């Protein structure tokens, strides 16, 4: 995904509930696995992202709480959007490692927040860790993910 394009679409659609829903649907179509959990983008600015995940049966485990892998998916998506929104259009990021701490059973509407300090000049590959925190409706942190991104210049396309 081109960071400039993502932010341009968000700037057109992010100002209304309908626009945010449409943006989230487009994101899910463009990134099908991340779209599978049905998270919605509520805030997006260079270096920061907030998502909500409604509590639905399709993301539950056998303990009637939100599945651990759905939480990882949510954290990775939040960190990715925070990272991507701060990158120049000539750069890309690829996840190389994810670790997750689960602090409480995740139930109800969840909110994921992530902030990334994107590196300035990107002329070589570098590692960058982005944290994403997930909170329940009461404001309790239920999980925190640390996602390691390899950030570098996009490869040049050979004609």
Range of the domain at 148: 3-153
pLDDT score of 157:
61
Residue 61 within any structural domain of the chain? yes
Give the separation between CA 9 and CA 96, rounded to whole angstroms: 27
pLDDT score at 149: 93
User: Is 43 among the domain residues?
Assistant: yes
CATH of the domain at 47: 3.10.129.10
For residue range 20-76, list pLDDT tens digits in order.
999 999 999 988 888 899 999 999 999 999 999 999 999 999 999 999 999 999 999
pLDDT at site 88: 82
74: tokens are: 């949510």
Q: Look at residue 75 and tell me if it is in a domain.
A: yes
Query: Is the predicted pLDDT of residue 121 greater than 70, yes or no?
Result: no
pLDDT of residue 85 exceeding 80: yes
Residue with tokens 């309908």: 18
Does the residue 109 lie in any domain?
yes
Q: State the average pLDDT for the chain.
A: 91
Would you state the pLDDT for residue 120?
66
Kindly state whether residue 159 falls inside one of the protein's structural domains: no
pTM given for the model: 0.91
Residue % of the chain over a pLDDT of 70: 95
158: in domain: no
End-to-end CA distance of the chain: give it in Å, rounded.
Answer: 20
Domain count, the chain: 1
Residue 102 has pLDDT above 80, yes or no: yes
pLDDT of residue 105 exceeding 60, the answer is: yes
* Residue 20 within a domain: yes
* Domain-embedded: residue 108: yes
């Amino acid at each position: 995904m081109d960071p400039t394009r993502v932010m341009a679409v968000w700037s057109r659609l992010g100002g209304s509930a309908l626009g945010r829903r449409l943006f989230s649907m487009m994101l899910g179509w463009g990134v099908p696995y991340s779209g599978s959990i049905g998270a919605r983008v509520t805030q997006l600015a260079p270096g920061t992202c907030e998502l909500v995940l409604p509590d639905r049966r399709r993301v539950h485990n056998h303990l009637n709480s939100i599945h651990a892998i759905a939480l990882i998916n949510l954290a990775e998506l939040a960190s990715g959007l925070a990272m991507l929104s701060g990158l120049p259009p000539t750069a890309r990021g690829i996840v190389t490692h994810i670790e997750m701490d689960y602090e409480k059973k995740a139930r109800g509407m969840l909110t994921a927040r992530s902030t990334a300090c994107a590196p300035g000049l990107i002329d070589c590959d570098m590692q960058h860790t982005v944290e994403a925190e997930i909170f329940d409706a009461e404001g309790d942190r239920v999980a925190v993910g640390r996602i390691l991104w390899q950030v570098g210049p996009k490869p040049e396309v050979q004609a």
